[in-house]
């Protein structure tokens, strides 16, 4: 199907100022999602120190902190399904505003909350609650944002819209990394452990509240309003309709999301740790190289989105898949013993990972408007819950067997995901 669910626009496929504003405000929430992810990861050791008893073994405190982090991901599918349900029944905008609110407030409260020294074991329990709320919000944010922008822009600009939004998501990784580096360079370790660790969360929470306020001025999508006027809104359980009538689209979307998960998790999030462990001589050059890769990814996601609108899913996916596989093998193979090659090869990998913006474009086109939010949310969150949990330990194991093991994993996921995208594009799902 195409995105022509509403009335045709007089302006054709040209983006209006209203479209640009919508894309910008949608990107803010996505950036906050990944910003919070990265900030928590960077300050895991500090959080473990201040939220658990000082006499607790370090490994146990770290393990429990990572458990708190993972709890957010466990709540992700449930939050996504609930928000998608109401997004298909009562409107995209309401859930769009709610998701950023549920991300912003817990992030702000984490920056303000007392630690173990004040609350005892109530402190990590309270942190657990905030992480669950964040996870529920994240489950609805990305799918909701993709649907929201895709239904606002002309049919011929859906790829660009999803690409810009995906670029916003990755911009959050860059901002979180830079914030962590800034905090750790400005403040002494003792000061960071005392109070400075709170600053990234406070800034992120304030940023999210501003985004929530601005989103209030957005309009409901024309597609949803057209369905409301024609009394075509989904009745009952939209997810039940997805599972009964659109199983092919669900399967293809899940397989495509595996490629997205593998590319982001392995090449962007895990690669610095994996490469530094495999090749210790690369460690000093890693921070700069990681920033270069993330910046390249942000730009590439937008470029790939533009290419999708111009050349179509099958052609762009074929080229992007070849580039992604080649970049993965170059990153894990050619950087050994060559610190000087790390930054350019990692930046090249970041450019290749921009292929992930193909996935949301394919998904929003795969489901009819009346159940689009539920379809995208179910496929994306289900895939992320499974592959997001399985990928890190699996790639660590593969790296222990072969330095190119992570690259082989990315290649396998890319081939499967690319096949799903090409099949969907040729079938005009």
DSSP result, 359-384 = HHHHHHHHS-GGGHHHHHHHHHHHHH
Q: Which of 194, 211, 233 is the last residue in one of the domains?
A: 233
Among the listed residues 315, 316, 263, the one whose alpha carbon sits nearest the alpha carbon of residue 293? 263
Neighbours of 235 (CB within 10 A): 11
Looking at residue 256, what DSSP letter applies? H
What pLDDT is stored for residue 53 in this prediction?
Answer: 93
**361 occurs within a structural domain:** yes
User: What's the pLDDT score for residue 84?
Assistant: 87
Q: Do the domain assignments include residue 7?
A: no
Domain end marker among 233, 260, 275: 233
Residue with tokens 């709320």: 133
pLDDT tens for residues 165-199? 888 888 888 888 889 889 988 999 899 999 999 99
Tell me the two tokens of residue 71: 């709890």
> Are 255 and 371 contained in the same domain?
yes
In this structure, the answer to whether residues 216 and 322 fall within a common structural domain is no
Residues 220, 252: one domain? no
pLDDT score recorded for residue 7: 44
In a domain, 149, yes or no: yes
The verdict on 202 and 275 lying in the same domain is: no
Claim to verify: residue 196 and residue 242 sit in the same structural domain: no
H helices present in 90-197, as ranges: 92-112, 116-119, 122-150, 158-186, 189-191
Indicate if 270 and 412 belong to the same structural domain.
Answer: yes
Residue 250 has a pLDDT of 95
Does residue 81 share a domain with residue 65? yes
Could you tell me which of 324, 375, 377, 319 has the C-alpha nearest to residue 350?
324
**Domain-located, residue 422:** yes
Domain match, 91 and 210 both: yes
Q: Any idea what the CATH number is for the domain that residue 254 is in?
A: 1.20.1250.20
Kindly state whether residues 251 and 320 are assigned to the same domain: yes
In a domain, 339, yes or no: yes
All residue ranges of the chain with pLDDT < 70 are 1-14, 231-232, 234-235, 427-429
Picking from 233, 251, 267, the residue at the C-terminal end of a domain is 233
d(CA 219, CA 231): 19
Report yes or no: 186 and 85 within 8 Å, Cβ to Cβ.
no
pLDDT given at position 1: 43
340 within domain boundaries: yes
Same domain assignment for residues 191 and 220: yes
Give the SS3 label for residue 121. coil
Q: So what's the pLDDT on residue 231? A: 66
Q: Quick one: DSSP state of residue 194?
A: I
Same-domain pairing of 32 and 98: yes
9, part of any domain:
no
Per the domain annotation, does 118 fall within a domain? yes
CA quadruple 20, 23, 28, 33: dihedral, nearest 10: -170
Q: How far is CA 114 from CA 119, 123, 166, 195, 222, in A?
A: 6, 7, 34, 11, 45
- CA dist 67 and 48 (Å) reads 11
> What is the distance between the alpha carbons of residues 209 and 198, in angstroms, rounded to a whole number?
17
Q: How many domains does the chain have?
A: 2
Give pLDDT, residue 11. 47
The single-letter DSSP state of residue 279 is -
| Ordered alpha helix ranges (H), 192-237 | 198-215, 222-229
Instruction: Please give the Cα distance from 323 to 313 (Å, whole number).
Output: 15
Phi (first) and psi of residue 15, to 5 degrees: -75, 130
Tokens coding 422: 């090409």
Name residue, tokens 């399904």: 81
Backbone angles phi, psi at 52, to 5 degrees: -130, 160
Q: Write out the residue range of the structural domain in which residue 83 sits.
A: 17-233
Name the one residue in this structure whose structure tokens are 């090749």.
279
Per-residue pLDDT, 110: 94
C-alpha pair distances (Å), 308 with each of 149, 157, 320, 415: 16, 9, 11, 18
CA distance linking residue 177 with residue 183, whole number of Å: 10
- Composition of the chain by helix, strand, coil, percent to 5: 85, 0, 15
Q: 231: how many CB neighbours lie within 10 A of its CB?
A: 7
């Amino acid at each position: 199907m195409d995105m022509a669910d509403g009335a045709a626009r007089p302006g054709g496929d040209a983006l209006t100022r209203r479209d640009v504003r919508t894309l910008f405000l949608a990107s803010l929430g996505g950036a906050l999602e990944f910003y919070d992810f990265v900030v928590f990861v960077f300050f895991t050791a500090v959080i473990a120190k201040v939220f658990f008893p000082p006499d607790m073994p370090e490994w146990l405190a770290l393990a429990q902190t990572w458990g708190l982090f993972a709890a957010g991901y466990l709540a992700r599918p449930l939050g996504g399904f609930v928000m998608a349900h109401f997004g298909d029944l009562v409107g995209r905008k309401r859930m769009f505003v709610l998701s950023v609110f549920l991300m912003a407030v817990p992030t702000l409260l984490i920056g303000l909350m007392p630690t173990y020294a004040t609350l005892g074991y109530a402190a990590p329990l309270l942190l657990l609650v905030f992480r669950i709320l964040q996870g529920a919000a994240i489950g609805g944010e990305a799918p909701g944002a993709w649907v929201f922008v895709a239904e606002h822009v002309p049919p011929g600009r859906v790829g660009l819209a999803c690409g810009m939004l995906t670029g916003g998501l990755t911009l959050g990784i860059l901002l979180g990394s830079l914030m962590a580096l800034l905090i750790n360079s400005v403040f002494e370790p003792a000061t960071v452990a005392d109070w400075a660790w709170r600053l990234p969360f406070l800034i992120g929470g304030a940023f999210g509240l501003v985004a929530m306020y601005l989103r209030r001025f957005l309009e409901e999508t024309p597609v949803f309003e057209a369905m409301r006027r024609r009394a075509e809104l989904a009745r009952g359980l939209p997810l039940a309709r997805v599972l009964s009538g659109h199983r092919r689209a669900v399967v293809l979307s899940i397989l495509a999301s595996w490629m997205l998960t593998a590319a982001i998790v392995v090449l962007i999030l895990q690669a610095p740790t994996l490469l530094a462990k495999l090749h210790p001589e690369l460690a000093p050059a890693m921070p700069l190289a990681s920033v270069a890769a993330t910046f390249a990814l942000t730009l590439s996601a937008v470029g790939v989105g533009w290419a999708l609108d111009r050349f179509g899913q099958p052609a762009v996916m074929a080229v992007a898949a070849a580039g992604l596989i080649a970049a993965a093998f170059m990153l894990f193979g050619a950087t050994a013993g060559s610190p000087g090659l790390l930054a350019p090869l990692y930046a090249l990998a970041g450019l290749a990972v921009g292929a992930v913006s193909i996935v949301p474009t394919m998904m929003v086109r795969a489901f009819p408007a009346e159940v689009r939010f539920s379809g995208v949310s179910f496929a994306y969150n289900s895939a992320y819950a499974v592959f997001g949990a399985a990928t890190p330990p699996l790639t660590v194991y593969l790296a222990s067997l072969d330095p190119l093991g992570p690259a082989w994993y990315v290649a396998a996921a890319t081939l499967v995901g690319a096949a799903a995208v090409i099949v969907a594009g040729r079938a005009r799902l």
